[in-house]
Every structure is written in C-alpha cells, then in structure tokens.
Amino acid sequence: MSRAVALRLGAFAGAVALAFGAAYGIGSAIDPIAAADDTSAAPAHGEEMGGMEQPAGTSEHGGHESAGQLPGLAVSDAGYTFAPAKTFFTSGPKTELRFTIQGPDGKPVTKYTKTHEKDLHLIVVRRDLSGFHHVHPTLAADGTWSIPFTFTAGGTWRLYADFQPAGHDSTITLGTDVNVTGLYVPVPVAEPASVYSFDGYDVTLQGTPVAGKESELTFAVNRNGKPLTDLQPYLGAFGHLVSLRGGDLAYLHNHPSQHAEPGMKGGPSITFGTTFPTAGTYSLFLDFQHAGKVHTAEFTVKVGSTGTAIVPPTVVPTATKTPGHAETPHGH
C-alpha cells in the first residue's frame, strides 16, 4: 500500500470516528422519549391511577411513576405483559377477544386480587377516542381471559387491562393496539362542553382542572329535567371515571371517595378528585348505573397550567345529542 493511500484511509477512519462521537454526544444530551412525555408532576393525594388510591409520595403500578411513565402506555411493566391471542379483527361480526397476562415467570397469571369488585377491567376504545367500552371478561383456569365483542368500525383500537395480580402490592394498567379491517371514518373529538345529553339524561360537569395539581370534578345527573337521587352502585361506587390523554392515550382511572354498597342510592352529584399530569386535551368517560343499566357520559376537557373554570349552564338543554363521539355506541 502506498503512503498516499494509507494517509487517505487514515483520514477517512478519523472522520468516521468523529461522526460517531458526535452522534453519541447528541444522543446523550437529548432523550426524545423523556422530552415527549413530561410526567414530572407527581399525582396528588387521593388520586387513583389504574383504579387504586395511593397516599401522597408513593409509587403506583409497580414503577410506572418511578420510571417516568403513565399507566396504559406500555404493553409490559413490572414483569407483567399483556398478550392478546390475535391482533387482527374484522369490524361488524361478533368475535371473541382472548388474551393472557403473562407474569414474571413467563406463564399466564391465574390468580388476581379484586379491585372495584372485579379481577380485571378491560377498556376498549378506538385510537380516535370513539367507541368507548368498559367490559369484564371471563377468566379460564389456564389464565386465558375471553369475552364476546363486536368492533363497530375499522381502524386501530387500543386495549387496556387494569388488574392487580395476587401478591402484588398495587394495580397495573397495560395497553396494546389491535388492527380492525373495515370502513374507517375518523370521528373528531367533541369540542369541550359542560353538558352531555342522551336518551333523556343530562349530565353536567363542573370544576377547575389544573395541570399537575389535584382538581375536583363534579358531575350532576338529571333525567327529563329532574335531578336523579336513585343512582345505583356500580363497581362499588356511584360513578366510574376513565380519562385518556389526547395524543398518546395515557390512562387515568379515578373513583369518587364515597363507597357504595348494594341497596344504597346516590346522586345527583358524583365528585372526583383527580390530577391531570400535564397540560393537554383529555377525553373523560363517566360510567353510572340507573334503573339497572350502565350509561356512559363523555366529555372533552382542555387542561392548562392555570385553571379554567368549567361552569354548567343555568338552564340545561334537554334531550339533545352531543355531537362527535356521542354517535358511537358505548358498551359494558
């Protein structure tokens, strides 16, 4: 090899080394995942993430908060993995959702601790936040969960499994996507409103949500213009609230402080204490039970760094359909 060729090769090798060194320096200085999800604000006292109340300063979900990650964003956490039997479906016909929760030993979990009267809560929603379903599948002896289900439209759907394995000290919420063939027409998220009306029910929302701070939200349920005072217990409470953050669909799961036993009556107001971790747009799904049937009211809330009051109107409009996602049926 000539001296000139050797010099050229040496210069090329030096340039490559400099390029890799620069890339490493940039990668070390910038963490795109951390930059995309600012979860530095810790949940306030009394907030429930994934269905479990936690005292201030504790870590939820076996490390969700300590890892800087909100519930529902990962398919695996704390050694547990959400494993659907299949991830491709067809919209329209009834099918069966089957999945297992694999434990740290790689085997399906077969024993759970009940949270809110169930071993596992399954939330199914399309990624445009339409078609919300809160259902409870059946557990087989081999650890397989299953439930008949109908996907109402094509698109990508998000599944959330909210559960507490037996012997584990907190609940875990895992999330995964499935693909559904069929007509896909994106449904826009409804504009923020303080009233949701359907089938003679009017649900109003009041509160002042602030990012990173505990906020109190109060829902009042009326029917045919009259306040309801005979709400029935549902999953151990008079209301069940799921909040999903727009963009990444991070999962917040909250319950009112008042516990409800069979035979008790509640309403018209249901109050929740919750903390929205960051500023942004959130879709809220309130489940409540009346006359033996579970109903879902849906709200869009914009949360900022300073509180903006949500005030219901003095006169609530009656028997009007809320535009947007209200046209998509819910299920339980």
**Residue at which a domain ends, from 181, 210, 225:** 181
pLDDT at 19: 36
pLDDT at 273: 87
Is residue 21 within a helix (H) or strand (E), and if so which, with residue range? helix 3-29
pLDDT at 46: 33
**Residue at which a domain ends, from 181, 213, 246:** 181
User: With contact defined as beta carbons under 8 Å apart, do 138 and 147 qualify?
Assistant: yes
Distance CA 173, CA 50 (A): 6
Pairing relationship of beta strands 195-198 and 172-181 according to DSSP bridges: unpaired
Q: Where are the beta strands (DSSP E) in 255-321?
A: 269-275, 280-290, 293-303
Number of other residues whose CB lies within 10 A of the CB of residue 268: 18
The model carries a pTM of 0.78
Same domain, 84 and 162: yes
DSSP helix/strand/coil, 30: coil
Same domain, 110 and 230: no
* Alpha-carbon distance values, 331 to 107, 136, 186, 294, 317 (Å): 30, 11, 19, 9, 25
DSSP helix/strand/coil, 17: helix
Work out the angle at residue 205's Cα, subtended by the Cα atoms of residues 269 and 132, and round it to the nearest 5 degrees: 100
Same domain, 164 and 131: yes
CATH number of 303's domain: 2.60.40.1940
Range(s) of the domain holding residue 302:
195-322
Specify if 92 maps to a domain: yes
Number of other residues whose CB lies within 10 A of the CB of residue 100: 21
Give the tokens for residue 194.
């303080």
CATH number of 161's domain: 2.60.40.1930
Specify if 231 maps to a domain: yes
**Residue at which a domain ends, from 181, 209, 234:** 181
DSSP helix/strand/coil, 10: helix
Specify if 20 maps to a domain: no
Q: Over the stretch 103-116, which tens digit does the pLDDT of each residue have? A: 999 999 999 999 98
Q: What is the DSSP letter of 9?
A: H
Specify if 273 maps to a domain: yes
Specify if 47 maps to a domain: no
Number of other residues whose CB lies within 10 A of the CB of residue 20: 10
Q: Over the stretch 177-210, which tens digit does the pLDDT of each residue have? A: 999 999 999 999 999 999 999 999 999 999 999 9
Tell me the average confidence (pLDDT) per consecutive run of 10 residues in the chain, 332 residues long.
42 38 36 33 36 35 52 96 98 97 98 95 97 97 98 98 96 97 95 96 96 93 96 94 96 80 94 92 97 97 92 72 46 62
Specify if 116 maps to a domain: yes
Same domain, 171 and 206: no
Same domain, 267 and 293: yes
First to last CA, the chain: 76
Domain tally, the chain: 2
